[in-house]
Amino acid sequence: MANLKSSKKDIRRTIKRTELNSQKKSRIRTFAKNIVKSIKAGEIEKVDGLYRDYSSLLDKAAKTNLIHARNADRKKSRMALFISKNKQSQASAQA
């Protein structure tokens, strides 16, 4: 256990930051899952808005060093590829 007053404060700060960071990471994962669910349900119109919000969350997380910037870019790229492939396959299935 910490003895110094500043060390105790550091521990309190770390606990708060850890909780906030885990909430933000969870929100990012939830958005990704919602995009996948929407695509599988065939709700193509809804996906564009979800992807826009998802990429915004990733950019904010990268900006605050919650995740690495390249990690955010990779996630956005892979999700965009996933969306476009499924849009094409659903468009060809309807034609």
Q: Which has the higher per-residue pLDDT, 53 or 93?
A: 53
pTM assigned to the model: 0.84
Do 11 and 2 form a contact (C-beta atoms < 8 A)?
yes
Q: How far is CA 30 from CA 8, 14, 35, 43, 74, in A?
A: 33, 24, 9, 17, 17
Instruction: Report pLDDT for 44.
Output: 85
Domain that holds residue 69: 43-88
Find tokens 């999700």 and name the residue: 79
How many domains does one find in the chain? 1
**pLDDT band at 2, cuts 50/70/90?**
confident
Residue 63 maps to a domain: yes
Residue 95 maps to a domain: no
Residue 23 maps to a domain: no
Instruction: Report pLDDT for 95.
Output: 64
Give the residue-averaged pLDDT of 58-62. Answer: 97
